[in-house]
């Protein structure tokens, strides 16, 4: 990830120029050289902003400028592959894409291409230019670009990168699909319940009090809850907001919390099915791509470790890489580490023995992707009746709590009429 620097430059005109720049370097001396090379000035002051300030600036830049989406990045890489395969120089190909204007998507791609043009114009190779934008180009894409620069097959690596992103987008969409329906359904249930509590119940409370209706305990409890919520809604909203923020900060900064949460989810029946299917599909997809592109196994596992989002498998890949660095096979390491099904381990062992490891991994990626799609479809059908039951229970509680006093009033009225 890029670090943010505050700098002051002495320009050739004699004027001083100050600003803040996001620079992808490890050492401050490299940032100084980068600034002097790209701005044609002399660095007078250079200050690396703290990590928290960099996080705030990075978040603000994403919110206001808009980060390029994976589908847009796949389109960019595919366009570059098509143009370079026809003989167009990479600089001219990037320039042609940068000149396209119009939609917000086009502007996001244009910003990425503008930065690429600056680096290419300074003499950098395409893989180095990709490396200067690590928030845009992930490790897998940068590694494929390095192979393309070294072997002269850049157009092939760019097309392979685009196809890889398309498959990853499809996998993520399948994983998210399982949660979209229940999330929106529960929001609708709580929204309708909140409307009843905030608007309908207060009016009925006044009516019941005027008519001296005898209220059953259930109605009293519901009305007390409604009155409390209406009196303290701001406190409840602030508490929920603070809890959400603290949870997000703790999730981001606490490795122990993320690890224990993932371990718990991997023991929960439905969540475990989704996480295992998606995690194994990502594992096989990334590893097959890297090995098929010509990277050695150790480097591929290192890139895979940085690319995986699932902490459960991320830690297992790190341990597998340690076994492989000692000379063991991947299949042996997977057995020792655990957490991988025997079918996957056996197919990888066959691939290692026959020299078809990339092909076996591709088969596994397709199989677990298909399993993930089937699981998502099956869960969607299971969740629908569950949500209907929950919604019915909530509204039945509210309706019964309101109808009981009404029934009592009707009974009193009929008794008085007699």
Residue 99 DSSP code:
T
Q: pLDDT value at position 25?
A: 66
Q: pLDDT value at position 69?
A: 85
Q: Which residue segment(s) compose the domain that 40 sits in? A: 3-65
* 189 and 164 together in one domain: no
Q: pLDDT value at position 362?
A: 86
Residue 133: closest CA among 111, 100, 103: 111
* 156 and 246 together in one domain: no
Residue 99: closest CA among 119, 122, 117, 72: 117
Q: Which of 65, 84, 111 is the last residue of a domain?
A: 65
* 94 and 148 together in one domain: yes
User: Could you give the CA distance from residue 204 to residue 213 in angstroms, rounded to a whole number?
Assistant: 11
CATH number at residue 370: 1.20.81.30
Q: pLDDT value at position 322?
A: 92
- Which are the contacts of 332, defined by CB distance < 8 A and separation ≥ 6? 323
* 188 and 280 together in one domain: yes
Q: Which of 130, 151, 168 is the last residue of a domain?
A: 168
Domain count within the chain? 3
Cα–Cα–Cα angle for 23, 306, 90, nearest 5°? Answer: 55
* 395 and 298 together in one domain: yes
User: Could you give the CA distance from residue 104 to residue 382 in angstroms, rounded to a whole number?
Assistant: 39
Q: pLDDT value at position 64?
A: 55
Q: How many CA atoms lie within 13 A of 94 on its CB side?
A: 19
* 356 and 416 together in one domain: yes
User: Could you give the CA distance from residue 406 to residue 96 in angstroms, rounded to a whole number?
Assistant: 72
Give whole-number Cα distances, 83 to 86, 96, 143, 159, in Å.
Answer: 5, 10, 21, 11
User: Could you give the CA distance from residue 357 to residue 2 in angstroms, rounded to a whole number?
Assistant: 35
* 302 and 397 together in one domain: yes
* 237 and 328 together in one domain: yes
Q: pLDDT value at position 350?
A: 92
Q: Which of 168, 199, 228 is the last residue of a domain?
A: 168
* 256 and 132 together in one domain: no
* 54 and 74 together in one domain: no
Contact 217, 239 (CB under 8 A): no
User: Could you give the CA distance from residue 277 to residue 310 in angstroms, rounded to a whole number?
Assistant: 11
Contact 323, 338 (CB under 8 A): no
* 148 and 202 together in one domain: no
> Over the stretch 328-379, which tens digit does the pLDDT of each residue have?
999 999 999 988 889 999 999 999 999 888 889 888 888 888 887 887 777 7
* 237 and 310 together in one domain: yes
Task: Tell me which residues of the chain have a pLDDT lower than 50.
Answer: 1, 103
């Amino acid at each position: 990830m890029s670090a943010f620097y505050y700098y002051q430059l002495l320009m050739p005109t004699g004027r001083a120029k100050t600003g803040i720049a996001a620079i992808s370097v490890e050492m401050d001396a490299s940032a100084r050289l980068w600034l002097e090379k790209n701005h044609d000035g002399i660095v007078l002051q250079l200050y690396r902003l703290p990590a928290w300030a960099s996080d705030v600036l990075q978040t603000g830049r994403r919110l206001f400028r808009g980060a390029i989406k994976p589908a847009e990045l796949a389109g960019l890489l595919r366009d570059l592959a098509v143009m370079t395969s026809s003989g167009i120089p990479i600089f001219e190909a990037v320039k042609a894409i940068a000149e396209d204007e119009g939609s917000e998507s086009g502007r996001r791609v244009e910003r990425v291409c503008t930065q690429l043009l600056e680096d290419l114009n300074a003499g950098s190779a395409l893989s180095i230019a990709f490396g200067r934008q690590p928030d845009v180009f992930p490790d897998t894409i940068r590694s494929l670009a390095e192979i393309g620069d070294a072997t002269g097959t850049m157009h092939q690596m760019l097309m392979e990168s685009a196809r890889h992103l398309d498959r990853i987008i499809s996998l993520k969409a399948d994983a998210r699909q399982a949660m979209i329906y229940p999330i929106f359904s529960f929001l609708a249930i709580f929204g309708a319940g909140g409307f009843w509590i905030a608007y309908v119940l207060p009016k009925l409370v006044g009516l019941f009090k005027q008519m001296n209706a005898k209220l059953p305990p259930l109605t009293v409890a519901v009305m007390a809850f409604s009155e409390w919520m209406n009196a303290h809604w701001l406190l409840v909203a602030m508490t929920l907001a603070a809890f959400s923020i603290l949870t997000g900060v703790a999730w981001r900064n606490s490795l122990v919390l993320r690890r224990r949460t993932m371990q718990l989810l991997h023991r929960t029946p439905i969540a475990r099915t989704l996480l295992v299917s998606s995690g194994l599909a990502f594992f096989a997809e990334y590893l097959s791509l890297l090995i098929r592109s010509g990277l050695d196994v150790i480097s591929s596992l290192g890139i895979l470790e940085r690319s995986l989002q699932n902490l459960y498998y991320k830690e297992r890949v790190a341990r597998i890489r340690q076994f492989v660095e000692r000379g063991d096979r991947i299949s042996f390491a997977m057995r020792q580490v655990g957490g991988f099904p025997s079918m996957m381990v056996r197919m990888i062992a066959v691939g290692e023995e026959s020299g078809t490891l990339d092909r076996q991994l591709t088969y596994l990626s397709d199989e677990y992707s298909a399993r993930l799609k089937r699981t998502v479809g099956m869960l969607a059908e299971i969740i629908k009746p569950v949500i209907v039951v929950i919604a019915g229970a909530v509204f039945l509680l509210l309706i019964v709590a309101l109808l009981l006093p009404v029934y009592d009033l009707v009974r009193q009225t009929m008794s008085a009429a007699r």
